Amino acid sequence: MMPRSLARLARMDRAELAWRAGATARTAIDRVRTRWMAPRWSREDLLHALAPAEDLRDVRRALAERAWGRAHRALARRLASSPQRFVVAPSSRAAVAARIRDEFPQAASHAVARADRILAGEYDLLAFRGLRFGPDALPDWRLDPTVNRRPPVAFWASVAYLDPAYGDHKVIWELNRHQHWLALGRAYWLSDDARYRDRFLAELRSWLDANPPLTGINWASMLELGFRSISWIWAIGFFAADDDDTASWPWLVDLLAALDRQLTHVERNLSYYFSPNTHLLGEALALYVAGSALPDLAASARRRALGRKILVDEIGRQIGADGGHLERSTHYHRYTLDFYALAAIVARLTDDAAAARFEEAVERLGAAARLLADARGRVPHIGDDDGGALVPIAGRPADDLRDSLAVAAAVTRRRDLQIGRAPEEAIWMLNGVAAPIVHVHTSAADSVRSGALPDTGYYVSRSAAGDHLVVDGGAHGYQNGGHAHADALSLTLSVRGLPLLIDPGTGCYTTDPQQRDRLRSTALHNTLTLDDAPQSIPRGPFHWARAANARVARWRVNDGFDYFDGAHDGYAPLVHRRRVLALHGDLVVVADLVDAPAADAASHAAAVHWHVDPRWTVAVRGRHATLTRAGERVGLAVPHGFVEAFVGDEAAGLGWYSPAYGRVDRTTTIRVGHTGAAPFWIVSVLDLNAQNPVADVDWVPVWAEAGAIAHGTAIRVTRAGSIDYVLFAEPAAERGGRTWRIGEIETDARMLFCRATAERPIARLALVDGSIVRTAGRRGFQLELPQTVPDLHLDLTVDARGAGATSGASLVVGGREYEVARDRRTMPRS
């Protein structure tokens, strides 16, 4: 077998080989130079980095004469008087601060409280609160304080930052993004307290002293340099205008020289082939923003053009036709939305024609994000979640998308993207570009309809009551699937705005390989495992030896219900196929089929796992579980098998979740198991309707002519006020007029839901891919459509109400005939 490195080399095209050869040569030259001459910052470098513009003559002269203070003051005056090219500018300080104080009276005190903790040397990063990076007032910029470890001081390409022996690189890098400088700037503008500016200056000097060019972990990731560069541009906007003639340190000279050096490093080592995903986007964004905001640097035009080209080119590569980011992580989707939103804002501020392309990307990404977010603006943690954000100015949780959606709504002029009141962050981001949409009316009811992102692979069922269900029916991940989990056909569920069934999150990337693999395993997701094996096999922290991919057979969206039917290939030759019926505000039925080739007569052990948000209390009794939280109740019942609950169980590896990167907490995992020869079914019924609770669930035989169906199952759900029947059937071939039966109900549908009450033999009906529903007897029910319809929902409890393709139907209930009018909700009685 060809070694992996040689196989990878064989797959490279000429362009990749040439680029890698050039990058390797540059790195080798830099490595030799650093051995012979210790790297250091040089203020003289800024003279060579400045553009040859006539109006920079005074700055260049001062630099040439080594009159650093004079050069600094000239730069400060120039930056203060320049047109706005970034989201914060000295000229807008008074207006922005006044508006925020007026619209958000608590913002100033909140900003001061956050900034004061930074003054005290305490940093809130990822899941960690109050981290201290060393005993001194200023941070040790290479320390991971969670384990008190630091990587060696070495040439950047030699730093083994993935080695857990040196700590968690994510923790170190999060501090070195300098995004907490945004918190200092916010507090400075809203309070006029000079201590926050002084802290920024002290940290900048400390960082430059500790991180000479090309040395150490903080030069090892181009994305991290990109994030840091953007933070430094924020700092220029916040702090540069307030220097007077007594400035003791020419910090603008040092900052601009160091910023230019870091951007050069990014240019030379772009992630075209290393991580051509959000890493490449973030690096391109830094080049574009810096090139646009800092035209006084000679390389700015080149950087702006390069960043623009990458950002435009990657729209077609990284964003699906459905608007979803192809990395298939809700967290990285949010990153991408924020990247393009900032690019669009800067493009507008600088009159760049690329603004239209960026806004198009924002609109598509924003629409997908709005679908993935629930009525409160929260997204489930699907795929990896590193806990970071592009603009953490106000400390909003990374899974709360309301600020990103408000910015997207204003940039694209689409009110439907926004949820509720525009947050404070929107004022900062949209300064000088567009007025935030002040308020969009929302309530507990969710106005966004169900929908799908078929290219990304997410299918979202939403109800007016605020229920929000997301099913993963797509490919494993983007390229190497570095941020994917083994979660094919998994789902998450919020009930009336409360998270119920959750994704386990990420925990860590490299510090604990066992934890990394556990939290992205199949058993830690709301899907089925077979024979205790995962669907996909990891190989290292960001690669997979084998990956499962899902395919969707049908997806139906209806005002009364939504229906999903998909399968994946992770257990081939066995097949896991999942059907999900979401009856809005009432019931969710999940039917998992394990099928096998005819030659496979072996017994197989299957388990369906349901991971419950820890704010719910779980009580298990026999085949039932009751989940309660603050007056809310949800039931779970199965027709057979056994139901178990695990809380923080190390032996089983269940009952754990990660609310944010760097933290793992206990929760409850419900496991439903069955062992037997395939084919067999495991069906889970989630009861969302406290007014008509489920008492029991049992199997009902499916009767059909020999060879009529390939497989099928049906259950009877006994409730306080009704009996519900649910059927799933797969026809063996073309129907040819053949039907099948559950109890007294005859149909030709692939999925049928019927509710019987004391008053009506069928009070509510939902079907997929059918045309006939009949019951016998004096109170019989007959529905006959002229042709098979994709979906149909009828509610007969008050009046005959229908949703779906009902034109030309004949409906008879208890001897009375009803007309089903085309595109009408109410069907008048004849």
pLDDT digits over 401-430, tens only?
Answer: 999 999 999 999 999 999 999 999 999 999
3-state secondary structure of 96: helix
Q: What whole-number distance in Å separates Cα of residue 517 and Cα of residue 308?
A: 37
Mean pLDDT computed over 803-830? 52
Residue listed under structure tokens 């400088």: 181
Give the model's confidence band at 821: pLDDT under 50 very low, under 70 low, under 90 confident, else very high: very low
Least confident stretch, 25-39, 153-167, 479-493, 803-817: 803-817
pLDDT of residue 825: 38
pLDDT of residue 823: 41
Mean pLDDT computed over 386-412? 95
Give the model's confidence band at 245: pLDDT under 50 very low, under 70 low, under 90 confident, else very high: low
pLDDT of residue 498: 94
What are the extents of the domains in the chain?
A: 1-37, 451-693, 716-819
pLDDT of residue 811: 64
- Give the 3-state secondary structure percentages of the chain, helix then strand then coil, rounded to 5: 35, 30, 40
Strands 702-704 and 603-612: unpaired
Model confidence, pTM: 0.94
Q: What whole-number distance in Å separates Cα of residue 654 and Cα of residue 642?
A: 16
pLDDT of residue 816: 60
Q: Does residue 105 register a pLDDT over 70? A: yes
CATH architecture of the domain with residue range 451-693 = Distorted Sandwich (2.70)
3-state secondary structure of 794: strand
pLDDT of residue 523: 97
Q: What whole-number distance in Å separates Cα of residue 608 and Cα of residue 385?
A: 24
3-state secondary structure of 152: coil
Dihedral in degrees, nearest 10, Cα atoms 471, 477, 482, 487: 30
Please, how many CA atoms are within 13 Å of residue 419, restricted to the half-sphere of its CB? 25
Beta strands across the sheet bearing 561-568? 550-557, 561-568, 575-583, 587-595, 680-687, 632-637, 624-629, 617-621
pLDDT of residue 434: 82
- Residue 37, strand partner residues: none
pLDDT of residue 448: 87
Q: What whole-number distance in Å separates Cα of residue 258 and Cα of residue 4?
A: 38
- Tell me the CA end-to-end span of the chain in Å, nearest whole number: 74
Q: Does residue 809 register a pLDDT over 90? A: no
Please, how many CA atoms are within 13 Å of residue 488, restricted to the half-sphere of its CB? 30
Strands 537-538 and 624-629: unpaired
pLDDT digits over 554-590, tens only?
Answer: 999 999 999 999 999 999 999 999 999 999 999 999 9
pLDDT of residue 197: 97
Q: Does residue 205 register a pLDDT over 60? A: yes
Question: What is the percent of the chain with per-residue pLDDT over 70, rounded to a whole number?
Answer: 92
